[in-house]
Amino acid sequence: MNRIDAKFSELKSRGEAGLIPFVTAGDPEITTTLKILRSLEAAGADMIELGVPFSDPMADGATIQRASERALAGGTMLPHVLALVRRFRRESELPIILFGYYNPIYHYGLARFAADARAAGVDGLLCVDLPPEESAELRRQTEKRGLYTIFLLAPTSDEERIKLVARLGRGFIYYVSVTGVTGARRALEGELQAQVARIRRYTRQPIAVGFGVSTPMQAARIAAFADAAVVGSALIDVIERAGRNGRKASQAGAFVARLKRGIKGAKRPVSSF
């Protein structure tokens, strides 16, 4: 069983929504990321989205762009990210989803990537610039290896696209809560709950909500109707501000623990997926 499925059924049996923190691998270097991963797990993270740095992160706001630049400046490339996952797997069963852009993966070779990622212990992959229409080549390889390809839905997605993502995606559906790039925002769009309900009409897959989640209260609101909340830029902000590398992991952990408490306090309907 894929670790993502196992985690969502465990969350379901507890009647809880999950918390998925995003960190850019190698920001500012890979040993710090390993410490951050340990600290996120201890703080109650349910899965990890691990960002693969790319030179042209055109779907990302300023915060994740900077993280990506720091990681590239430190020389972190896809093979290092896979090595990091392999290292973390020796001590953890936390589901790990690689999150990034298609070109580094395409260039690595799709068959080689699927084999190496699975061997390292990666559970899922999400390429922000790879819509389902262009994913056949990649899915042929990932499905062979039991690696999940996760797709995004956005406020602009219509019924036809929801059906397409529901049919081709594996693991869960990532709902982008705002039309825009990644980044911490003060408010979330009001129609979020209705949008998630709309997606549920077409699928029984879990739905995670991301983009713009930054406070325990927001996380709690999302946990009331979605199956997981993703927190990215706000966490990168914390890591960026923490100064010396030694403090980055502890502060990231403290921040995620606060979000987790917010989620645990959320009132959830008995069965949402």
Partner 1 sequence: MQNSRHSLARSKAPDRRGHFGVFGGRYVSETLMPALIELEKAYAAARRDPSFRREFETYLREYAGRPTPLYFAERLTADLGARVYLKREDLCHTGAHKINNTIGQVLLARRMGKKRIIAETGAGQHGVATATVAARFGIECEIFMGKEDVARQYLNVLRMRLLGAKLRVVESGSNTLKDAMNEALRDWVTNVRTTYYLIGSVAGPHPYPMMVRDFQSVIGKEARRQIRATEGRLPDYLVACVGGGSNSIGLFYPFIRDHGVKMIGVEAAGAGISTGRHAATILGGEVGVLHGSKSYLLQDRNGQVRETHSIAAGLDYPGVGPELSYLRDAGRIRFSSATDREALAALKELSRTEGVIPALESAHALAELLKLAPKLKKNQIIIVNLSGRGDKDMGTVGEYLEK
Compare residues 107 and 247 and give the one whose CB is closer to partner 1.
107
> Of the residues 60, 116, 227, 237, which is catalytic?
60
Kindly state the smallest distance separating residue 71's Cβ from partner 1, in Å: 11
Kindly state the smallest distance separating residue 157's Cβ from partner 1, in Å: 6
Compare residues 10 and 159 and give the one whose CB is closer to partner 1.
159
Compare residues 57 and 121 and give the one whose CB is closer to partner 1.
57
3-state secondary structure (DSSP) of residue 59: coil
Instruction: Tell me which residue has tokens 């042929």.
Output: 140
> Of the residues 41, 49, 116, 123, which is catalytic?
49
- Mark whether 129 is an active-site residue: no
Question: Exposed (0-12), middle (13-18) or buried (19+): which is 64, by Cβ within 10 Å?
Answer: buried
Residues 6+ apart with CB under 8 A from 143: 149, 170
Kindly state the smallest distance separating residue 218's Cβ from partner 1, in Å: 19
CA distance linking residue 17 with residue 220, whole number of Å: 9
- Mark whether 133 is an active-site residue: no
The two three-digit tokens of residue 98, written as one number: 């690689």
Compare residues 32 and 157 and give the one whose CB is closer to partner 1.
157
Compare residues 148 and 255 and give the one whose CB is closer to partner 1.
148
CA distance linking residue 181 with residue 249, whole number of Å: 25
Kindly state the smallest distance separating residue 95's Cβ from partner 1, in Å: 22
The b-or-e profile of 149-167 (16+ CB within 10 A means b, else e) is bbbbbeeebeeebbebbbe
Nearest Cα to 208, choosing from 37, 21, 25?
21
Kindly state the smallest distance separating residue 219's Cβ from partner 1, in Å: 22
Under the rule (CB under 8 A), what is the footprint of partner 1?
A: 54-61, 65, 72, 77-79, 101-108, 128-131, 133-134, 151-158, 161, 165, 176, 179-181
The b-or-e profile of 9-30 (16+ CB within 10 A means b, else e) is eebbeeebbbbbbbbbbbbbbb
Catalytic residues, by residue number, are 49, 60
